[in-house]
Amino acid sequence: MPTSRVARTSRAQLDHTFFDLDGETPASPTGTVTVAVTDANNTAVTSGNATAAGDGRYTFVLPGQSVLGELTARWTATLDGTTVVEDDLVEVCGAHLFTLQQGRAADASLANTTQYPTAALREARLQTEAEVEEICDRAFTPRYRRLVLDGTGTDELILDDNEIRRVRAVRVAPRADGTYTPLTTEQLAALVVTPDRVLRRVDGGTWTAGRGNVIVEYEHGLNAPAADLVRAMLVRFRSFANVGKTNTPDRAKSFTTTDGTTYRVTLPDAYRTGLPFVDGIYSRYSLRSLSAESTGSSGGGGGGGGASSPASRTLDFNPQHDSIFHGGRR
């Protein structure tokens, strides 16, 4: 999960705190703290001096970025005469799934900026966004991905994400430590992404066989989340913002009220939050294979409210390079 997410074209304040040797006490660097921001290909984006905000905390304003991407903000400081370099990962996304204003409005108590500072709500929103995408196996606003893949020796590669919007760039090398050659505009236009996440060349070319010798950059995800999904996310956001503020013990499976009524607690698992309202709506938009109700297991993600979906690609027995039908390697 990135340290922070920034909406495309929006300026953003990056924050970083330096700590002493114990990892808990804020430390004050001596001299100037610098920031260098690079993209996923290690190309420089921007740089400058950070601004001290007290208690070891420094800030830096990231200019608005016109394209989706994964950025690394490298903070360099001097602590006790030693140069310290620390990195934060910043994702530039199409948009946030909901605004902080919507988040505060979701519960009257969240309007208290002393108990719920903006930084804490940003963290709760980031957790909410990351979790819903993991549970549903899809992105609900445009996202960027850079993959390093093994060349197959065929015309097919399998990508990591659903709902590919566009393939931005592809580079291929004879091997991982070789020289990478980018696909031309015409070659990129001859790429087809199938619903089962296969990136296929239709120009007669193949992906050079190798380990880690193909780099693919693409964008994926929907335009925006549906209104009912936003409502569910706001409920989950509220629970993240209030973690540790409930009277129910963390390991409780049930609790009894003062009048003797016992309630069973719905428990979270790998693909469930434990909040029935939230999980019910998340299941409507999940691309995972089966819901827990239809399988009887705890690991389901609610593929279309319990409807089954393919668990993998259809097997293809066509002769391919290095396959048993092609002679294979001995």
Residue written as tokens 């070659």? 187
Q: Per-residue pLDDT tens for 196-205?
A: 999 999 999 9
pLDDT tens digits for 3-30?
899 999 999 999 999 999 888 999 999 9
Which tens digit of pLDDT belongs to each residue from 53-110?
A: 999 999 999 999 999 999 999 999 999 999 999 999 999 999 999 999 999 999 999 9
Neighbouring C-beta atoms of residue 196, cutoff 10 Å: 12
Residue range(s) of every CATH 2.60.40.1220 domain in the chain:
1-93
What are the tens digits of pLDDT across the range 109-158? 999 999 999 999 999 999 999 999 999 999 999 999 999 999 999 999 99
Indicate the DSSP class of residue 99.
-
Hey, what are 160's tokens? 């990591």
Query: What amino acid is encoded at 163 in this protein?
Result: E
Six-digit token string for 177: 């430590």
CATH topology of domain 1-93: Immunoglobulin-like (2.60.40)
How many residues are present in the chain?
330
- Write down the pLDDT at residue 257: 64
